Structure 1
């Protein structure tokens, strides 16, 4: 007698008409009661849990199912990890899966862990491939726009897909919002404001969303618009917009906190730092699934420390910032640790300034000599006291320490473009052009060896500095730099001009005639310049070439009369009979008898004054006749004998 085989869960579900995910979950649970090791039932159960957005229960089901379930349902496992706030683990699970769904999960998880370059690359691959699902093209455009915005915020805008807003970005409120974020991150505030308003209008025009759903979508747009208005200096409009924002209705706690902070910054009423401190910390902490991105958390941390310092919490800021800095690698140029180091220095200085602050911060720098943020803070304090030599020496010694390190990360910090720019600026203040040129050349050489995509601004600055040299080797190096820049971007006119300037003297045969002809002619560059009027106006000299004191009184054409600076006189130096506005005696510091208007009184005083007059008659003095001294006789005994002294026992 043969037994009838039990139908599988998938066969049962295929014969039913279950559309409720809860019903599917109940069917899967009933099947698992009969056989706990049924992989198919376990798979159906985790899919139902995902559709019900019960991500913690989904992960619990995967843990109970074991490695076999994780391998058979790898896509679902990765998605559950991602939605549960564990994107790093999701990346490890799905990074080797080449299926289309897995690539979507990998892109989203990479976006969440701020690997925006990989997310952008995956979305480009998916957009170029066939076989996409219905409406997938729109989702790819939305997600790709969000990645481009994050690339701009993180300083990687050169690899962003969209350089400008396209017409299709204005067709949906999501794409319009992402395009607005891209514009805002580039500093194009007017364009960003326009696109945000466009996004709000498109969202309000949707018919398939309820009023509550529209409001939930528009609130984050309004929060972003407050930021744009503040950046544009429209504080009144920003404050009015903040006053109408229902903060409690913003679903994402991370966005709610940003809205609260921006409302404090835009408000004119929150002048009390203690009240502002309380409001800033009134919003709940966001969950792991809704964390701020690094560039956001860095700014929010700065706001928190600034509010703590305004509230007088110097010891608290010093302790908390020191703990944070001790957990970070050193040296580093990451914005987070660098900015925290500045607040750490401010906390140790207790709101002191300039020389007094230097005295308090220098001991901290001795304990943390590799702290870039602290180093730049002390450098700035030296500049505020006009001690350029000390600032330069401090940075030079830091560079020498990093050069002796064998760690590649330390050398990256040594030749970081921002630090190089700081050093070059210090050299420029002191007129040390050769040092500036050498520093830029070394940095350019390092990054050309180190990276396939060296920083363009640094290379352009180094090439320009080398063009000022008459050394053939320097000009050759400048030519190589501009050649690489021109090869990377044929439309870069500055690179083309630098290439021609470098090779025009030492190697004109290397220049392409088409490149030379593409440069604007000199006549066009000087068009509209009136040389005669410029000559009549005079030539302004830099401070290092200012006229000498002997020529300071000569007025050149075009110079404006400069009023002499009125010196303030201390109160303790003012005479008792001082009257405001009355011209003071210029000879008041001279003795009375030496002043030009002194007129002595009485017969004795007039006689004394006549004797002191320069060029006056001098009374002849009587000179008594003295006995002539004669030379003695020959030999040494020619001296006269002294008379014997009076009294008994007189001695010679």
Structure 2
């Protein structure tokens, strides 16, 4: 059959079944294997039948001409066969159309290049949809990309954080909004959105019961995860019992559901049984592989179960091999495995016993950020904050001495900066924390290479610098908030920081539009009762014991004291109720004011003890000189006395 005859045949027939189209194309190819139009028709029929590998083989057999002519189908076949790099290359070089743009956006999404995919979907949305169904697809896919950006840690690139009314009208958009909430840690909001998505799906009339069950399965699995993270074990167990996990067709979804079910159980299961159930799950095919962050979490869970099963040497070897193979990866992806590796070497010990094992290991892997953080955590568990700070500061010095830009990126990574700033705050060294934040912000602003610096770190650095009275610090804070405002002019927090930095130092750098973004003062104080505050007075904070406050505190009102009731056993024997008690009863008798001595000797003694009175001074009489006898000697007058009788005349 010639090319013209095949075209004529297809134009006269109405084949709605791809199987019929495939048979017609095969009949034509029996006569001419290189018929380009027959190959094109066959490839498209195979794509509609979800036979992507077969379709890709047809495109490969057709050669460059067919691949260029049917670039849309060829790139789509490569995308479905998970040959993402080649699919991106083909779609990028092909003549651009909306169909090619959709395939390219999906390819970038599956390749986890979510920022590029988001830009492409934004361009398609700004151009306006060609069909009504396309608008719905664009909204669903854009929501999925935003959720993945949140999971990837690039939430600053997501412009819409809260779902609007349109998102709540379809279960797909509500589900994507819920996934974004889960990624941000907004679990209560995610629970509401997932319930909304489930109700919307079950209320659809154009879906059969089987189709509804298939669509709600991912929603229920996400609900199971949310319940587990919220600690709602009763709801998680009830949902897990309702789900038939083993019948979930999507293998990656089945594995996630199985792990969520095991982790949400109230009672701790046998770790060896959990280990067997987890490893018994079938491996996922290439077309159904989870994203990298999901695969990383699944691998971590597997290693944790191995540790619970006391497989220390196996976990140590496997994690060491993984860290070595991914030496060029970011520490965000390898640090969890470094911590698991440390737990395997320490054999699940903590405290000083674990530190004794891990410190020598750090000498072999001095640039392992995950291992450093593990040891820092162990130091904190033993209340040795000084050692934790010293270890982290030494690690920073090693990275600063390196000439590699990657090591400097690790040095100023937001997680490590947050750790050292928290440690400084615990030691009341706020100035050191401010310096670290300023250095990190300066690094990312000058070495971002066109990408957006971590907004959370920049914002924390700017807020910290605003607490300083140094003009240089305020200018640095202004530069930081200027960079944030340039990326997102609607960020009111950045505008407020910008105004706070330049309000006193250089107001000329502020614009009226920036000031207008701040809420008016009347709105901020509308719920404040100034009269009540004035009546309450000004609260004076307590002063430290080492300082003396110059302010005089208000006199305290004397509280009426209740009379202290004395027990009868403590009362004197001659006590008469109502009689006034002698206030000097505790003094000795001679010291009481009403004491009067009796007798001549007592009066004379009392007069001699009088204080403040005139004291009669008696003149001392001259000593009486005794006459000595004729004999000289040192005995004096004692020689005139008769010697008493006694034994031996001894004194």
What residue is the counterpart of 1:20 in the other structure?
Answer: 17
Supply the distance in 2 between the matched residues of 1:465 and 1:378 (Cα, whole angstroms).
28
What residue is the counterpart of 2:135 in the other structure?
Answer: 137
Distance 1:180 1:9, change over 3 A: same
Match of 2:210 among 190, 200, 212: 212
Do the aligned partners of 2:202 and 2:212 also contact (CA within 8 Å) in 1?
yes
Q: Does 1:43 align with 2:40?
A: yes
Supply the distance in 1 between the matched residues of 2:10 and 2:250 (Cα, whole angstroms).
37
For 2:205, what is the secondary structure of its paired residue?
Answer: coil
Supply the distance in 2 between the matched residues of 1:7 and 1:430 (Cα, whole angstroms).
85
Supply the distance in 1 between the matched residues of 2:482 and 2:267 (Cα, whole angstroms).
56
Distance 1:219 1:130, change over 3 A: closer
What is the CA deviation profile of residues 412-470 of structure 1, one whole-angstrom value per residue up to 9, with x for unaligned ones?
11211211121222222333333222222211111221235332322232233333434
Distance 1:47 1:423, change over 3 A: same
What is the CA deviation profile of residues 515-555 of structure 1, one whole-angstrom value per residue up to 9, with x for unaligned ones?
3985748988896768968857x6386xxxx879xxxxxxx
What residue is the counterpart of 1:539 in the other structure?
Answer: 542
What residue is the counterpart of 1:457 in the other structure?
Answer: 456
What residue is the counterpart of 2:629 in the other structure?
Answer: none
What residue is the counterpart of 1:192 in the other structure?
Answer: 190
Supply the distance in 2 between the matched residues of 1:384 and 1:279 (Cα, whole angstroms).
33
What residue is the counterpart of 1:120 in the other structure?
Answer: 118
What residue is the counterpart of 1:447 in the other structure?
Answer: 444
Do the aligned partners of 1:49 and 1:55 also contact (CA within 8 Å) in 2?
yes
Supply the distance in 2 between the matched residues of 1:506 and 1:230 (Cα, whole angstroms).
51
Match of 2:368 among 368, 371, 384: 371
For 1:166, what is the secondary structure of its paired residue?
Answer: coil
Match of 2:53 among 39, 56, 59: 56
Q: How does 1:351-370 map to 2 (within 5 A)?
A: 351-370=348-367
Do the aligned partners of 1:330 and 1:371 also contact (CA within 8 Å) in 2?
no
For 2:281, what is the secondary structure of its paired residue?
Answer: coil
Structure 1 residues without counterparts, runs of 5 or longer? 549-556, 558-652
Q: Shift of the alpha carbon at 1:374? A: 0.8
Supply the distance in 2 between the matched residues of 1:346 and 1:359 (Cα, whole angstroms).
13
Match of 1:162 among 160, 163, 177: 160
What residue is the counterpart of 1:342 in the other structure?
Answer: 339
For 1:221, what is the secondary structure of its paired residue?
Answer: helix
Q: Does 1:182 align with 2:185?
A: no
Distance 1:193 1:484, change over 3 A: same
Do the aligned partners of 1:74 and 1:94 also contact (CA within 8 Å) in 2?
yes
Q: Shift of the alpha carbon at 1:134? A: 4.9
What residue is the counterpart of 2:253 in the other structure?
Answer: 255
Do the aligned partners of 1:330 and 1:370 also contact (CA within 8 Å) in 2?
no
Q: How does 1:77-92 map to 2 (within 5 A)?
A: 77-92=74-89
For 2:331, what is the secondary structure of its paired residue?
Answer: coil
What residue is the counterpart of 1:32 in the other structure?
Answer: 29
Q: How does 1:470-481 map to 2 (within 5 A)?
A: 470-481=469-480
Q: Shift of the alpha carbon at 1:495? A: 3.7
Supply the distance in 1 between the matched residues of 2:22 and 2:432 (Cα, whole angstroms).
73
Q: TM-score, normalised by structure 1?
A: 0.77
Q: Shift of the alpha carbon at 1:512? A: 5.6
Supply the distance in 2 between the matched residues of 1:428 and 1:131 (Cα, whole angstroms).
53
What residue is the counterpart of 1:265 in the other structure?
Answer: 263
Supply the distance in 1 between the matched residues of 2:421 and 2:200 (Cα, whole angstroms).
49
Distance 1:61 1:518, change over 3 A: closer
Supply the distance in 2 between the matched residues of 1:168 and 1:267 (Cα, whole angstroms).
37
How many aligned residue pairs are there? 540
What residue is the counterpart of 2:418 in the other structure?
Answer: 421
What residue is the counterpart of 1:8 in the other structure?
Answer: 5
Distance 1:300 1:533, change over 3 A: farther
What residue is the counterpart of 1:71 in the other structure?
Answer: 68
Q: Which moved more, 1:447-456 or 1:503-512?
A: 503-512
What residue is the counterpart of 1:467 in the other structure?
Answer: 466
Do the aligned partners of 1:331 and 1:371 also contact (CA within 8 Å) in 2?
no
Q: How does 1:451-530 map to 2 (within 5 A)?
A: 451=448, 453-486=452-485, 488-489=487-488, 492-508=491-507, 510=509, 515=515, 520=521
Larger Rg computed on CA atoms: 2
What residue is the counterpart of 2:331 in the other structure?
Answer: 333
Distance 1:484 1:131, change over 3 A: closer
Q: Shift of the alpha carbon at 1:83? A: 1.2
Do the aligned partners of 2:3 and 2:35 also contact (CA within 8 Å) in 1?
no
For 1:49, what is the secondary structure of its paired residue?
Answer: helix
Q: Shift of the alpha carbon at 1:360? A: 0.8
Distance 1:295 1:158, change over 3 A: same
Distance 1:106 1:495, change over 3 A: closer
What is the CA deviation profile of residues 20-69 of structure 1, one whole-angstrom value per residue up to 9, with x for unaligned ones?
22222122122112112211111111111111111111122222222332
For 1:106, what is the secondary structure of its paired residue?
Answer: helix
Q: Does 1:111 align with 2:114?
A: no
CA RMSD of aligned residues (A): 2.8
Q: How does 1:545-624 map to 2 (within 5 A)?
A: none
For 1:135, what is the secondary structure of its paired residue?
Answer: helix
Q: Which moved more, 1:18-27 or 1:339-348?
A: 18-27
Do the aligned partners of 2:459 and 2:481 also contact (CA within 8 Å) in 1?
yes
Q: TM-score, normalised by structure 2?
A: 0.77
Supply the distance in 2 between the matched residues of 1:375 and 1:158 (Cα, whole angstroms).
28
Structure 2 residues without counterparts, runs of 5 or longer? 548-555, 557-651
For 2:363, what is the secondary structure of its paired residue?
Answer: helix
Do the aligned partners of 1:28 and 1:45 also contact (CA within 8 Å) in 2?
yes
